[in-house]
């Protein structure tokens, strides 16, 4: 999984411009898919038909988003310095001094007007991107150009670090799950969604088209295992997290029970998740059409929405094992 994750995370695909990463995913999943298509929002929908029919067969949608946070050029001043707005949840504390790569290959570094307080990050509207230009006329980017963080993938033992682990880690888990499922009673839709970071847009339209009976998002979740972090129970290396609640949705208790019971029967480590900030594609899936029974499997991740997001390899492997075990057998509801 590590070579795949390196390729996925080092591919640039900010919200609305997911083409490059979609091509990589499509190549990976094609040998294992019964049907593949791209919908109007750009989400990649990969179907695996049931290999055996039972009375408890379900139409299941699994969603991991392809897009990553980024920036968009909003102004270029007379000296060629680039002002920008966020494209998704870009935070000042992670952005100052960052390197940015634009879709046209231009790179730049984030600077700031001045620091009012040396120990506080300025607001995004006090920052600019220096692309090496000396005037507006020789600036190599224009208004409306998109960019995202420039940072290479890195391994620290079992800890894997890269920009866009949110949610390329979930994408890798979904790809490996598709590869590992040999027998299933369910009609499975592996959906690699667009524009999650700007409002779970791709998941909502994909779910409307699929009309699933069960929806499961695979995404990262924050942890409470770093100094002075939020009081949350999720930790790196302790297994995938079964979402109970986040600010955007309440998981269906039947889906929570299904995930927990499967993990316990398979003797897989898992954690119960109550997330205090953020949400996932499950938020959009749950309220599609007349409503969908939904939940989420979350991968613990430190430093979310930075250029150095960190996950644990064993959590990724156990996420694949849990999803494979869940989807290989009928459900009892």
Active-site hit among 18, 196, 273, 309: 196
Token reading at 178: 């598709």
- Give the C-alpha separation, 214 to 211, whole Å: 9
**Residue 196 is among the residues annotated as catalytic for this protein:** yes
| 38: its two tokens | 């791209």
219: nearest Cα among 175, 279, 161: 279
The secondary structure of the chain, three-state, reads CHHHHHHHHCCCCECCCCHHHHHHHHHHHHHHCCEEEECCCCCEEEEECCCCCCCCCCEEEEEEECCECEEEEEEECCCCCEEEEEECCCCHHHHCCCEEEECCCCEEEEEECCCCCCCCCCCHHHEEEECCCCCCCCCCCCCCCEEEECCCCEEECCEEEECCHHHHHHHHHHHHHHHHCCCCCCEEEEEEECCCCCCCHHHHHHHHHHCCCEEEEEEEECCCCCCCCCCCCCCCCCCCEEEEEECCEECCHHHHHHHHHHHHHCCCCCEEEECCCCCCCHHHHHCCCCCCEEEEEEEECECCCCCCEEEEHHHHHHHHHHHHHHHCCCCCC
List all residues 6 or more positions away from 87 whose beta carbon is below 8 Å from its beta carbon. 14, 15, 16, 69, 70, 71, 72, 146, 148, 197, 198
Catalytic residue numbers read 196
């Amino acid at each position: 999984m590590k070579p795949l994750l390196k390729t996925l995370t080092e591919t640039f695909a900010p919200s609305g411009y997911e083409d490059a990463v979609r091509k990589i995913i499509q190549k990976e999943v094609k040998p294992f898919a019964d049907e593949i298509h791209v919908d109007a929002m750009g989400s990649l929908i990969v179907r695996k038909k049931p290999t055996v029919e039972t009375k408890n067969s379900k139409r299941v949608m699994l969603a991991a988003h392809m897009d990553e946070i980024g920036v968009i050029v909003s102004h270029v001043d007379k000296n060629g310095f680039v002002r920008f707005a966020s494209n998704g949840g870009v935070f000042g504390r992670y952005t100052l001094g960052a390197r940015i790569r634009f879709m046209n290959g231009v790179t730049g570094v984030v600077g700031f007007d001045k620091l009012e307080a040396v120990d506080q990050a300025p607001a995004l509207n006090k920052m600019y991107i220096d692309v090496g230009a000396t005037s507006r006329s020789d600036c190599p980017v224009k208004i409306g150009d998109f960019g995202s963080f420039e940072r290479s993938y890195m391994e620290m033992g079992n800890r894997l670090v890269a920009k866009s682990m949110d949610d390329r880690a979930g994408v890798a888990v979904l790809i490996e799950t598709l590869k590992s499922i040999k027998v299933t009673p369910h009609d499975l839709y592996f959906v690699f969604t667009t524009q999650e970071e700007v409002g779970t847009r791709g998941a909502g339209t994909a779910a409307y088209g699929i009309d699933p009976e069960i929806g499961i998002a695979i995404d990262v979740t924050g942890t409470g295992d770093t100094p002075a972090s939020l009081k949350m129970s999720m930790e790196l290396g302790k297994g995938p997290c079964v979402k109970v609640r986040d600010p955007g949705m309440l998981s269906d208790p039947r889906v929570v029970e299904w995930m927990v019971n499967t993990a316990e029967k398979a003797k897989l480590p898992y954690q119960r998740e109550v997330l205090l900030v953020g949400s996932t594609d499950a938020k959009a899936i749950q309220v599609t059409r007349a409503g969908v029974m939904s939940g989420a499997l979350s991968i613990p991740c430190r430093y979310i929405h930075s250029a150095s997001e960190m996950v644990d390899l064993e959590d990724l492997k156990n996420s694949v094992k849990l999803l494979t075990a869940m989807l290989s057998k009928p459900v009892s509801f």
